[in-house]
């Protein structure tokens, strides 16, 4: 992709408008529970400070839907940034208007200001041209470092980029694109995909696209139940998308036609319900009782999947293998995380649940790349063009 990096642009003494993804989880008191997204932005911020830019930091937080919601203010983010940088970080309680213009224009090289939640304005998510123009008025240079929102065509991700002449990707965005290109566009073969999560309907396009590129696809989570049912297996009381059975058959047919290995569970962990972990036990697929639900993959399936994982040169993982939030149904996901970590493949993990799973398994540092994108990662897997990236192309 013809996207410049921030290092390719002269930013000294210029007002640089940054779009970051500071959509951090907050507790009931408004304190930040996990500052990972802020930390991932630090290399770009520090680079810009060192180069003498005047930094304007923009982000969304939550879904205020165009209303000012104090509990979704970015003020705690500005305070946390100040701690991490050991430096004053200014904050303004809006992202457009005379006060914002005044603060931005008074910035000295190396100084930074965090703007208030851009989604407090309903125009943001509509990519309103007039609102985009107000944001662009603040900038000499536009840098997008928010891969997590790259699938959204909003004012702060697309509209402003079309109005500011000098534009490019931040260090994190560039890193994301390089690793995704490595995994999807020019992967070292063989490629193995691990796809989990609850529903086939969420990942139809992903599955159809990756079947064209991968040697083997390993299917877990609730979506495996639908494929197994489509294959004629009685799944008892398990979650099954009955309206997706024909689609599941079509996907399995494509896999067969393209000579791709499409691996489904051969044993599962079952229980009468999510909150009945004490009754959880392993059973073979095809022997599930009428009132039992499949809630995790079993040990034989882990071994079967591990054979493919260890053969892989590239591994792409999105979606857990079971309801890993519950202790009784987390082992399959934990075992797959450890298997991926133990492989010699280039491994990339994306999606909130998968990222949490590798962290819970204690193997995050053994994964080649952990993407910050959920929806953006999924759309990249589907082969879609990401608007926030396309807007940066020169």
The mean per-residue pLDDT over the stretch 313-329 comes to: 96
| Rounded CA separation 386/171 (Å) | 17
Report residue 1's pLDDT band, with 50, 70 and 90 as the boundaries.
low
Which domains does the chain possess?
6-173 (3.40.50.1260), 187-381 (3.40.50.1260)
Q: 394 pLDDT exceeds 80? A: no
Taking each helix axis from N to C terminus, what angle separates 352-360 and 331-342, rounded to the nearest 10 degrees? Answer: 80
Q: To the nearest whole number, what is the mean pLDDT of the chain? A: 96
- The pLDDT value recorded for residue 28 is 86
pLDDT in tens, 273-306: 999 999 999 999 999 999 999 999 999 999 999 9
* DSSP-assigned states of every residue in 97-132: SHHHHHHHHTPPTT-EEEPP-GGGSTTGGGT-HHHH
- Which residues lie closer than 8 Å to 66 by C-beta, 6 or more apart? 119, 120, 121, 122, 123, 124, 125
Taking each helix axis from N to C terminus, what angle separates 75-85 and 36-50, rounded to the nearest 10 degrees? Answer: 60
Verdict on whether the full-model pTM lies above 0.85: yes
CB 16 within 8 A of CB 54: yes
The mean per-residue pLDDT over the stretch 203-223 comes to: 93
User: Of 137, 118, 86, 125, whose CA–CA distance to 19 is shortest?
Assistant: 118
| Rounded CA separation 35/37 (Å) | 6
pLDDT in tens, 123-149: 999 999 999 999 999 999 999 999 999
Taking each helix axis from N to C terminus, what angle separates 171-180 and 36-50, rounded to the nearest 10 degrees? Answer: 120
Q: What is the SS3 assignment for 221-263?
A: CHHHHHHHHHCCCCCCCCCCCHHHHHHHHHHHHHHHHCCCEEE
Which residues are part of the catalytic machinery?
37, 199, 352, 375
Q: 239 pLDDT exceeds 80? A: yes
């Amino acid at each position: 992709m013809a996207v410049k990096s921030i290092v390719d642009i002269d930013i000294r003494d210029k007002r640089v408008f940054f779009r970051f993804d500071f959509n951090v989880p907050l507790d009931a008191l408004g304190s930040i529970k996990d500052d990972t997204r802020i930390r991932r932005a630090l290399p770009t911020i520090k680079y810009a400070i060192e180069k003498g830019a005047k930094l304007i930091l923009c982000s969304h937080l939550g879904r205020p839907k165009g209303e000012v919601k104090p509990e979704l203010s970015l003020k705690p983010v500005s305070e946390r940034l100040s701690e991490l940088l050991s430096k004053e970080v200014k904050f303004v309680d809006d992202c457009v208007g005379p006060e914002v213009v005044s603060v931005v224009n008074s910035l000295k090289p190396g100084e930074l200001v965090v703007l208030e939640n851009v989604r407090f304005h309903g125009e943001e998510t509509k990519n309103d041209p007039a609102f985009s123009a107000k944001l662009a008025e603040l900038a000499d240079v536009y840098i997008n470092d928010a891969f997590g929102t790259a699938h959204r065509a909003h004012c702060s991700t697309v509209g402003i980029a079309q109005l500011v002449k000098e534009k490019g990707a931040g260090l994190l965005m560039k890193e994301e694109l390089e690793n995704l290109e490595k995994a999807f566009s020019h992967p070292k073969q063989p490629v193995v995909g691990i796809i989990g999560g609850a529903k086939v309907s969420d990942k139809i396009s992903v599955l159809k696209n990756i079947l064209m590129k991968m040697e083997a696809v390993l299917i877990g989570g609730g979506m495996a139940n639908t494929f197994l049912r489509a294959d004629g297996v009685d799944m008892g009381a398990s979650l099954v998308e009955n309206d997706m059975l024909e689609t599941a058959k079509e996907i399995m047919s494509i896999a067969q036609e393209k000579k791709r290995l499409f691996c489904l569970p051969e044993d599962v962990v079952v229980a009468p319900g999510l909150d009945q972990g004490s009754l959880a036990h392993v059973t073979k697929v095809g022997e599930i009782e009428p009132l039992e639900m499949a809630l995790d993959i079993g040990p034989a399936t882990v071994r079967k999947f591990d054979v493919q994982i260890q053969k892989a040169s590239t591994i792409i993982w999105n979606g857990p293998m079971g309801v890993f939030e519950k202790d009784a149904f987390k082992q399959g996901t934990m075992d797959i995380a450890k298997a991926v970590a133990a492989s010699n493949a280039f491994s990339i993990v994306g999606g909130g649940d998968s990222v949490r799973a590798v962290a819970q398994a204690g193997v995050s540092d053994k994964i080649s790349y952990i993407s910050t994108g959920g929806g953006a990662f999924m759309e990249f897997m589907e082969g879609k063009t990401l608007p926030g990236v396309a807007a940066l192309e020169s």
